[in-house]
Amino acid sequence: MNSHKKIYLFSNFLPGFSIEDPKRKYIYLLCYFGLFMAFLEFGQDYISSALNQNYFSVVQSLSYKLFWLLFAPFSIGLMYWFNNAASYNSTMVYGALSALLIVFITLAHLVVFSFLLFGISSLVYEDSWSIYYLLTEKLSTRLYIALPVYGIFSVLYYRSIQRNDRNQVKEQNQLKNITVKNGRTTTLVDVDAINWISSDGHYLSVHTETKEHVILDSLKSMITRLPNNFKRIHRSTIVNTDRIRKLKSRGNGDYDVIMDCGTTLRLSRNYTEPLRGQLL
């Protein structure tokens, strides 16, 4: 089993907040999005200036591109909220507070952007831009851009959290052992020791290196409780992919599955899709 290193960002100044796989990809996505849009607008400014034979100010053009670069840091506030707002049991309250936060962060984004432009103009130009003009101009020309971006980001990130929570619940509910009862004797079979499981009517045969155990269950029920390294390869077979030595094509879409123990199982063409990218 491959181990994955968890990477924690911003934890020093946002207590209780960490960006882990796959969550940190949203910060990267916003950084790439901001840089791409800034570069695109900068190029558009230059081309427009050249075509109209107007003076092109690099400083002025770049300063206005800060609008796009501010999305990443302000989105951290939204991520912090969604990561820590699970205590709200009321969906209506949670949704209303989330909507208000999106509006607040959007307005904060535009206000900070306006003050940054004001500060830059004060340093570069003798006559700085009016802060009132900047605020009103940005609210009228950038609000309709910033609000949908934060809204879409929030929906995508919230759905990602929900999906991760479901996966964590599934992992917690996964079997660690299978209980096998034989008369008055009860045996716990370690799931990691299982090579494959085959179905025979209402019973399942659990095959390990040393023994075959029979339990009353169904493959449909069993596969939902097993770890992700267990895949269904036939309507009557579940296999531990960690115990597969190799696959051999039959030339008709089916495969022979050669296990580490030497046993050959059949991989039906109808069950190959879950194994693509892993074994095929």
Burial of 135 (0-12, 13-18, 19+ CB in 10 A): middle
Domains along the chain?
24-172 (no CATH), 177-275 (2.40.50.1020)
The average pLDDT across 88-104 equals: 85
Query: Taking the CB of residue 3, how many other CB atoms lie within 10 A of it?
Result: 5
Beta pairing partners, 180: 187
Radius of gyration of the CA atoms of the chain, in A = 29
Residues 193-224: tens digit of each pLDDT: 999 999 988 899 999 998 999 999 999 989 88
Query: Taking the CB of residue 182, how many other CB atoms lie within 10 A of it?
Result: 10
Q: Which helix (H) or strand (E) is 188 found in, with range?
A: strand 185-190
Residues 167-197: tens digit of each pLDDT: 777 666 667 888 888 878 888 999 999 999 9
Query: Which pair of structure tokens corresponds to residue 106?
Result: 């959007």
Please answer whether residues 125 and 165 qualify as being in contact, where contact means their C-beta atoms are separated by less than 8 angstroms.
Answer: no
Cα–Cα distances (Å) from 229 to 2, 3, 78, 149, 194, in that order, read: 12, 14, 34, 38, 11
Residues 113-151: tens digit of each pLDDT: 999 999 998 888 878 889 999 999 999 999 999 999 999
The average pLDDT across 224-246 equals: 92
Q: Give SS3 for 162.
A: helix
**What's the full length of the chain, in residues?**
280
Q: How far apart are CA 104 and CA 77, in angstroms?
A: 11
